[in-house]
Structure 1
Amino acid sequence: MTETRVDISHVRPEVIGQLTYSTYFIDELIHDVQHEAGELTIRHTSPKSEDDLRARISTLIERFTHAEFGFKEGILSEHRVTTPYSGNILAELLQQNIVKELEPGLFLFREPFVSLLQFFDESFVKKIGRHFGAQQEYYPAIIHGDTLDKTNHFTSFPEHIHFVTHLREDLDVIESFARDVRQAGGWAGHAPAIDQSHVMAQPRYTINPATCYHCYEGLQGEVLAGDGVVRTAVSKVHRYESKNHREFGRLLDFTMREVIFVGKPDFVKERRAKSIELLQQLVTEWELDCYIENANDPFFTNDFQVKASFQRNQEMKYELRMSVPYLDQTISVSSSNFHSTTFGNAFQIKAGKRPAVTGCMAFGLERWVFAFLAQYGLDEARWPQKLLAEFRTWRDGHVH
């Protein structure tokens, strides 16, 4: 194992996390990235030269530290409380077999994690979605590449994308593939030797990386009635994040509930503002230690500064971050987003005679459960009174 150390003392604190996250993507043989005391330490087995690796890291540093554009920060609201639990909740969940790690970023969940996830999901629909009369929709797990292209995901977050493919429709290919796997003693022995250009078809689909994309696809070419529509849906979404999947908050496969606003500017802006207000009321009632801050998406490409600073300066993205006491850090569990006419134009959705604007509030359900349990633990007697009462009422209604 080789160590490469890079001075990052000049890097702004607010982008060090993004730099560390992205460093894993410069070479697949990077095994660990740590930052401490103004220095980035990369442990790797890459055959690339030291100069080559440093040049790649310098490219990322320039991308995330270029200071031509402003980077507006700010806390929209805070709800800080002292919570009763500070143990290593992930270790406890694993020890009690409530959560089982199949591989980094891929988990199996059991009770009570599952009930809490379902309870949070239904609470968000009841307390936020229904306030706007949101209509439920149900989406596929995959999305066509042409549709994803319209969302600019290929150019903004290319590292996230999971492509879906299949064996080519060719009898010789299919039979030789099955024979080779059998002779290799199974998939594990054969997979590294697959000539994908020969065996696999050109991908047409990807696994969907965001719930709301299907909503805009479903409204494509429509002229909305009245001032706009509100939809809500929950779906599995997938984002590849390299070695970052070793963090529990970076799941390969996770569940996202969204409340989605599509319509005229005032219609969307007013509902977005109200949804944030409802979320603030909810975290207060449930006594959660958290805050809402101005934020930006983790754009990967070299126009990071342009896109991120625009989002922040226009306050197009807010994140609700809950504290995780045993890690002494916070984790984003929800986001509130305003996209202007980006998706209205891309999908030719009209509100009146003009392109519709869109916005959404998203909830990462596994993160919600993890952060809540990190603050209050598994002992229900220590849970906030109102949340516990609502959870028990919900649970009694779901006993089969």
Structure 2
Amino acid sequence: MPAFVAPGITVLESEEVALFDALEARFREIAVTLGARPVAGPALLPVEDLARLDFFRNFPHLALPVATLTDETRGVLARGEATAPSGENTLVPTGNCLPTATCYGLLLSLAGRRLQTPEVITSIGRCFRNEDHYDGLRRLRSFHMREALYVGSREGVVDHLTRATELVLGLADRLGIKVRHEPATDPFYLGSGSRALLNQMDPVKFEFVSDDGTAIASVNRHRNFFGERLGISFGDEDAYSGCLAFGVERWVHAVLQVHGDPQRALAALNEPVV
């Protein structure tokens, strides 16, 4: 069983790590099947970039800003005093936040680009969310997310996400995970007003939800939002984008729910495809 060193912060045991690695290998295979090339995304995101992507309008409660300590605070902590200092003069902002999703950094890396051919990239990142509660491996403060991002044409996004949906459903079926494919309520780039109304009529995020209500993966159609905000063009217009996202620890949870222990789960995952 995983050990929790703090609410939402876990250490996986060796057998669970083997399952984690095997699942992550399948996710990367799916990304490669979708034509994605691997990259390593950033561990920090500039606040000003997140602001122009409406992050703080849509999800201010999830943000985890990064700060350094003032000289006074460092001195107090170094002396091991019983009461740590608190208040606005204890921290110095760095202007960065921890990422809540892997795709933000990948999209920022394409800012200002004029694409002549689609970009399809994949990365796994450690993500962080300041949730109102944490629940085992289902909802963590710190977790891993594998994404496969497509940036290019409107039609290319549709094809990317259609194929991604088929591959996720195939993997879930192979592992005996019963999932519902349903619209999500948290498209992270829409905000309010006309965009929110448009999403009600034409959902842009669909989740793969297991029997106990855990969203283990999602496909997200960004329309041309990021192309417009980040100055990414494809041909003569703002680029369209979409991504497939896997929550790795959530898949570990879902597979263990079905198979009971890591060894049986790993055996099921390693069974040859007929």
TM-score > 0.5, shorter chain as reference = yes
Quick check: 2:113–2:232 contact (8 Å CA) kept in 1? yes
Say if 1:205 and 1:103 are closer, same or farther in 2 by CA, change over 3 A: same
Give the letter for the 2:127 counterpart. V
Between the aligned residues of both structures, percent identity stands at: 26
Can you give the 5+ residue segments of structure 1 that lack an aligned partner in the other structure? 1-92, 94-98, 169-173, 324-328, 392-400
Choose from 313, 324, 328 the match for 2:201.
313
Say if 1:123 and 1:246 are closer, same or farther in 2 by CA, change over 3 A: closer
Quick check: 1:235–1:257 contact (8 Å CA) kept in 2? yes
Q: Does 1:190 align with 2:99?
A: no
What is the alpha-carbon root mean square deviation over aligned residues?
Answer: 2.4
Choose from 254, 258, 269 the match for 1:387.
269
Cα distance in structure 2, aligned partners of 1:137 and 1:302: 29
Cα distance in structure 2, aligned partners of 1:221 and 1:341: 14
Choose from 210, 215, 231 the match for 1:322.
210
Deviation at 1:275, TM superposition (A): 1.0
Q: Greater share of helix residues, 1 or 2?
A: 1
The residue number in structure 2 matching 1:235 is 125
Quick check: 1:151–1:213 contact (8 Å CA) kept in 2? no
Deviation at 1:385, TM superposition (A): 6.8
Cα distance in structure 1, aligned partners of 2:237 and 2:105: 21
Cα distance in structure 2, aligned partners of 1:254 and 1:313: 32
TM-score, reference length from structure 2: 0.90
Summarize the alignment of residues 25-44 of structure 1 with structure 2, pairs less than 5 Å apart.
none
Cα distance in structure 1, aligned partners of 2:172 and 2:78: 54
The residue number in structure 1 matching 2:242 is 359
Can you give the 5+ residue segments of structure 2 that lack an aligned partner in the other structure? none
DSSP 3-state at the match of 1:210: coil
Q: What are the Cα deviations for residues 321-358 of structure 1, in whole angstroms up to 9, with x where unaligned? A: 112xxxxx321000100010110011100000100011
The residue number in structure 2 matching 1:140 is 42
Choose from 246, 262, 273 the match for 2:162.
273
Cα distance in structure 2, aligned partners of 1:284 and 1:246: 25
DSSP 3-state at the match of 2:41: coil
Deviation at 1:388, TM superposition (A): 3.5
Cα distance in structure 1, aligned partners of 2:266 and 2:95: 47
Deviation at 1:306, TM superposition (A): 6.7
Give the letter for the 1:352 counterpart. G
DSSP 3-state at the match of 1:107: strand
Quick check: 2:15–2:263 contact (8 Å CA) kept in 1? no
Give the letter for the 1:161 counterpart. A
Summarize the alignment of residues 74-85 of structure 1 with structure 2, pairs less than 5 Å apart.
none
TM-score, reference length from structure 1: 0.63
Q: Does 1:180 align with 2:76?
A: yes
| Structure with max Cα Rg | 1
Deviation at 1:296, TM superposition (A): 2.1
Say if 1:114 and 1:380 are closer, same or farther in 2 by CA, change over 3 A: closer
Question: Which contiguous aligned blocks of 4+ residues in structure 1 show a shift greater than 4 angstroms?
Answer: 305-309, 383-386
